Amino acid sequence: MGQLIMLGTLFGLIAVIFGAVIYFDPEARGPREEQTADGADR
């Protein structure tokens, strides 16, 4: 039973850290389709 708790905690922490990185780091989400004021792609 202890193994399940430890594995659940491990994978839970991995998921929380991964989610926090995606949420707080815009570059980790991949390039966005942004345009400048003159309409040209960046």
Q: What is the pLDDT of residue 42?
A: 54
Q: What is the pLDDT of residue 34?
A: 65
Which residue has 């345009």 as its token pair?
Answer: 35
Residue 30 has pLDDT above 90, yes or no: no
Phi first, then psi, for residue 12 (nearest 5°) are: -65, -45
In angstroms, how far is the first alpha carbon of the chain from the final one? 53
Residue 1 has pLDDT above 90, yes or no: yes
Contact by Cβ (8 Å): 36, 42: yes
Residue 27 has pLDDT above 60, yes or no: yes
Which residues, 6 or more positions from 36, have their beta carbon under 8 angstroms from its beta carbon?
Answer: 42
Cα–Cα distance measured from residue 22 to residue 28, given in angstroms and rounded to the nearest whole number:
6
Q: What is the pLDDT of residue 14?
A: 98
